[in-house]
A = this chain, B = another copy of it.
């Protein structure tokens, strides 16, 4: 696939500075781009790389345009425009409509004739598969599931009974959607499973990463609103609710009944304790434990950067003696009559 700069400028409403007949057929990073490739500049700190890039054209914003020596496409949002150009240059492979002869489809399942069902897929009773949906190889769709139009289950996806997946949502291999939540009643020393009778409702335009697991609700439903993007190996406990356009990086874990607002960005390996609410527009940096509600937009953190093991052991030893430090500091304050504002309200004994 090859496109001229003129076509790109027209299609994406960009100002082109350069030869409209020059053509691109690939994408590349700024530093290693070569003739025929399109690249982009989103981070002004990389502006110095503009002079030396070999790319045929750079997508950038108006403020950076003068720093470029070659052709540029000026866009209000260079990263998004670049993403759309890349999608044109690298079109997705199209899966043919129809059901592979090896698939096992329940008699009363409704599979749209324009949908694709791959080898060894299983589709249960009363399940509905919408137009142009892709049910990849080895997927298991249990009974009573609703798969809306243009959903793509890449392959090897498990969707348990009664789950609903909104239009255009993409699910990657190994994801398990709608497994029973982890709920038990103690009876003597035994743990008695509590039936999990809610479901999982996933909105349109979501992405669910590889080997991510989303548990069905205990009584009410687990909900992902539209545009939620979950990376790989995320665990969403029962009855969580995730707001629209929130993104979570890999290996995040949400306990049960967590509510996350809209447009949040949750870093990798973050853990969120059960029954908490996080408001809209919160960012949490990686490896943070969220154990209290967050009610103000902003950035939150909780990870301590690594040190050499020798330094770290000393720091941990000091940390473990903080109680003693506090007492000693209070004693010195008493001995010297020092009493700062910072001392007020401290409980150091």
Contact = CB atoms under 8 A, between A and B. Distances in A.
Given A158-B174, A286-B271, A325-B326, A104 B82 contact: no
A174 B220 CA distance: 25
Contacts of A298: 308-309
Interface of A: 27-29, 32, 77, 79-80, 82-84, 86-87, 89-90, 93, 100, 102, 104, 118-120, 122, 137-138, 140, 143, 154-156, 158, 161, 172-174, 176, 179-180, 182, 184-187, 189-195, 197, 205, 207, 209-211, 213, 215, 219-220, 227, 229, 231-233, 235, 237, 244-245, 247, 249-251, 253, 255, 262-263, 268-269, 271, 273, 284-292, 294, 298-310, 312-316, 318-329, 331-333, 335-338, 340-343, 346
Given A263-B189, A315-B323, A194 B250 contact: no
A161 B325 CA distance: 56
A306 B301 CA distance: 5
Contacts of A322: 315, 318-319, 322
Contacts of A210: 158, 176, 179, 213
A82 B235 contact: no
A29 B336 contact: no
5 nearest A-B residue pairs (beta carbon) = A318-B322, A79-B185, A299-B309, A302-B306, A301-B312
Contacts of A32: 220
A87 B185 CA distance: 12
Given A284-B306, A327-B342, A332-B338, 18 more contacts: A82-B185, A82-B194, A86-B195, A100-B104, A174-B174, A182-B209, A190-B205, A191-B229, A211-B211, A250-B255, A271-B287, A273-B286, A299-B309, A318-B326, A319-B319, A328-B340, A331-B338, A331-B340
Nearest to A159: B173
A298 to B, nearest CB: 6
A191 B176 CA distance: 23
16 contacts: A27-B197, A80-B185, A120-B120, A173-B179, A179-B232, A191-B245, A211-B211, A268-B271, A284-B306, A300-B312, A302-B307, A304-B304, A305-B316, A321-B326, A321-B346, A328-B342
Contacts of A292: 305-306
A158 B158 contact: no
A233 B231 contact: no
A341 B346 CA distance: 20
A237 B286 CA distance: 14
B232 A213 contact: yes
Contacts of A329: 325, 328-329, 332
Contacts of A28: 219
A307 B253 CA distance: 18
A37 to B, nearest CB: 9
Most central of A90, A250, A327 by chain B CB within 10 Å: A250
A289 B304 contact: yes
A319 B317 CA distance: 11
